[in-house]
Each structure stands twice: as C-alpha cells, then as structure tokens.
Structure 1
C-alpha cells in the first residue's frame, strides 16, 4: 500500500494566479495515473516540456489549472510544478541514484 500523502504535493506559487476576485497561492499536484498520461510523451514531461506540462497539469492539479492559467504562470512556478511531476515519474531506484544517502 502506498502512502497517499506522498502522492499529493503542495506547491506555493512565487506569483499567485488571479482569477477575477480569486487569488490562488498554492496548488496541489497529484501523482498521475497511467491513463492521465495518455497522448503525452514521458520524455517530454521529464524534460519539463511546456506543451507536455500544459497537457498534464489540468488533469492532476487542485484547484484545476486551465491552459490559460498555465500560460500565465511565472516561469519559476511552471518549473516548480514540473519538478513535482518529474519526481512522481522517476522510479525509486533513479531517485536513490540521484541523491544517495551517505
């Protein structure tokens, strides 16, 4: 059984999103299921490709980010969200190789 808290990450945006009167300061990113990756290239997601992230983020964020929201993100916020996606996609062995404990 997996730890559900590890499958949802909260990202605090450097530049909040404005939707009319609403201000979004944090976004939750959920670990995608295989079906949510349909039509997307895993290598593009791992390379933080904008088009791939634009296709995936509306499927796995809360509040739901629209393509318009994503287009208006500060680049640092897009990188933060993409980094969480990338971390979800890496196998445990690859993560351990990237940051071994000493």
Structure 2
C-alpha cells in the first residue's frame, strides 16, 4: 500500500468528521452546587439517542417534562432533575430555545440568522 494514499485517506476522513455543535447559555440566576456556582451551561446538539423517550414535538414546544429528560444528557455541567425543577423559568426558556434551535434543519437555522 502506498503511504501517500494512506495519508490522503486519513486526511479526508478527519476533514469529513462533523464538528460537535455547542452553544453556551449564560444563566440569569446561577445554580449553586455546594460551594461552586454555575453561571453558564454549555449545550451540545443532541444526537438521536439523547432524544429517546421524548416526543420531538414536545421538545420543539419546550415542554418542561421533555426538557427535563433531554437537558441532563446534553449539558455541561450536566444538569440534575432537581436543578431543572428549581431553575429560573427564564433560564429554562433560554436552554429550551437552544435545544429547539438545534432540531431545526440547517436551512431554517440559516434563514433565522
């Protein structure tokens, strides 16, 4: 096997790997975890597995129960059920909007920007 061809194949594979989409949300009301304070949450674009057990319509409509299932799977630091229940509604709306935005087709996202 020609080393040049192997190198080209590896370069192509790396270049074709999709970048993980993320968005950071600054919380209006920080979350306290013991002595630590969480001021912002990074949200990753969910893969299909992270959406298991919820209706996509519910997620798009920012249903609290659906978001409570999905957010712990796609946030960093990972939110707990208790933190989501106690969260400022404005922060939940911000997080839900990010998740709903990730579910839109690329053309719809580009049109809204």
Settle same-fold status: TM greater than 0.5. Answer: yes
| CA deviation after TM superposition for structure 1 residue 75, in Å | 0.5
Deviations 1:6-59 (A, max 9, x none): x11111000000112111001000001111111110000000000000000000
Q: Distance in 2 between matches of 1:74 and 1:16?
A: 9
Cross-structure match for 2:43: 29
Q: In 2, Cα distance between the equivalents of 1:64 and 1:32?
A: 13
The answer to whether the aligner puts 1:51 opposite 2:50 as a matched pair is no
Q: Per residue, is there more helix in 1 or in 2?
A: 2
> Highest Rg: 1 or 2?
2
1:95 match: secondary structure: helix
What is the TM-score when the length of structure 2 is the normalising length? 0.80
Query: In 1, Cα distance between the equivalents of 2:68 and 2:74?
Result: 11
In 2: Cα distance, 1:25 partner to 1:96 partner: 28
Tell me the C-alpha RMSD between the 2 structures.
1.3
Higher relative contact order (CA 8 A, sep 6+): 1
Task: Tell me, yes or no, if structure 1 residue 9 matches structure 2 residue 23.
Answer: yes
Distance in 1, matches of 2:34 and 2:109, equals 40
Mapping for residues 56-67 of structure 1, pairs under 5 Å = 56-67=70-81
Query: Which stretches in structure 2 are left out of the alignment for 5+ residues?
Result: 1-15
CA distance in 2, matches of 1:36, 1:3: 17
Is 1:82 the equivalent of 2:96? yes
Give the Cα–Cα distance (whole angstroms) in 2 for the partners of residues 94 and 61 of structure 1.
23
